[in-house]
Chains A and B, each alone.
Chain A
Amino acid sequence: MVGLMLHAESLSVYTEAKRSLLKQVSVSFFAGQVTALIGPNGAGKTTLLRALAGLLACHSGSVFVQGQVIEHLSLTQRARQIAYVPQETPFFPPMTVCEITSLGRLPYGENARRALAHPAVHKAIDMTGLSALADQNASHLSGGERARLMLARALAVEAPLLLADEPIAALDPAHAIAIMALFRSLAAQGRCVVVVIHDLLLATRFCDRLVLLKEGTLVQSIAPADLNDTLIADTYGVTTQRVEGAVLPWDILTS
Chain B
Amino acid sequence: MKNFSLLFNSVLCGVLGFLFIISLLWGESTVHSVSALTDWLMGKPSIEGVIVGKLRLPRTLLAIMVGGTLGLSGAVLQGYLRNPLADPGLLGVSGGAALGAVCVFYTGLFQISALLLPLGGLIGAGLSAVLLLGLVGQGGVLVLIVAGTALSVFTTALTALVLNLVPSPYAMFEILHWLMGSLSDRTMTDVWLALPGVCLGGAIMASCGSALDALTMGEDVAVSLGFRLGGVFGVQRRVVLGVAVAVGSCVAVSGAIGFVGLMVPHMLRPFVGYRPSRLLLPSFLMGAVLLLGADLGVRMLAHRAEIQLGVITVLLGVPVFFYRLLLYKQRTMF
Binding site for B on A (CB under 8 A): 50, 53-55, 75-76, 78-80, 82-84, 86, 88, 90-95, 99-100, 103-104, 106-107, 109, 112-113, 116, 150, 153, 157
Contact = CB atoms under 8 A, between A and B. Distances in A.
B224 A95 contact: no
20 contacts: A50-B220, A54-B223, A55-B223, A79-B226, A84-B220, A86-B218, A86-B220, A90-B216, A90-B217, A90-B218, A92-B216, A95-B216, A103-B221, A104-B225, A106-B225, A106-B227, A107-B225, A112-B2, A113-B1, A153-B221
Given A103-B214, A106-B214, A112 B275 contact: yes
Given A79-B226, A93-B216, A95-B273, A112 B278 contact: yes
A95 B214 contact: no
A186 B298 CA distance: 63
B11 to A, nearest CB: 19
B226 A106 contact: yes
Contacts of B216: 90, 92-93, 95, 100, 103
Nearest to B224: A84
Contact of B227 (A53, A75, A82): A75
B275 A75 contact: no
A55 B214 CA distance: 15
Contacts of A157: 225
Contacts of A100: 216-217
B5 to A, nearest CB: 9
Nearest to A74: B226
Contacts of A106: 210, 213-214, 225-227
Interface centre among B1, B213, B226 (most CB of A within 10 A): B226
Nearest to B209: A112
Interface in B214-246: 214, 216-218, 220-221, 223-228
Interface of B: 1-2, 82, 210, 213-214, 216-218, 220-221, 223-228, 273-275, 277-278
Contacts of B228: 75
Contacts of B213: 103, 106, 112
A244 to B, nearest CB: 46
A78 B216 CA distance: 20
Given A50-B220, A79-B225, 19 more contacts: A54-B223, A80-B226, A82-B224, A83-B224, A84-B224, A86-B218, A90-B216, A90-B218, A92-B216, A93-B82, A93-B274, A94-B274, A95-B273, A100-B216, A103-B225, A104-B225, A112-B213, A113-B2, A157-B225
Contacts of B223: 54-55, 75
Question: What are the 7 tightest A-B residue pairs by CB atom distance, in nearest-first order?
Answer: A79-B226, A84-B224, A93-B274, A90-B218, A76-B226, A113-B2, A75-B226
A20 B218 CA distance: 25
Contacts of A54: 223-224
Contacts of A109: 210
Given A90-B218, A153-B221, A99 B226 contact: no
A86 B278 CA distance: 25
Contacts of A75: 223, 226-228
B226 A86 contact: no
Contacts of A113: 1-2
Interface centre among B210, B214, B228 (most CB of A within 10 A): B210
Nearest to A90: B218
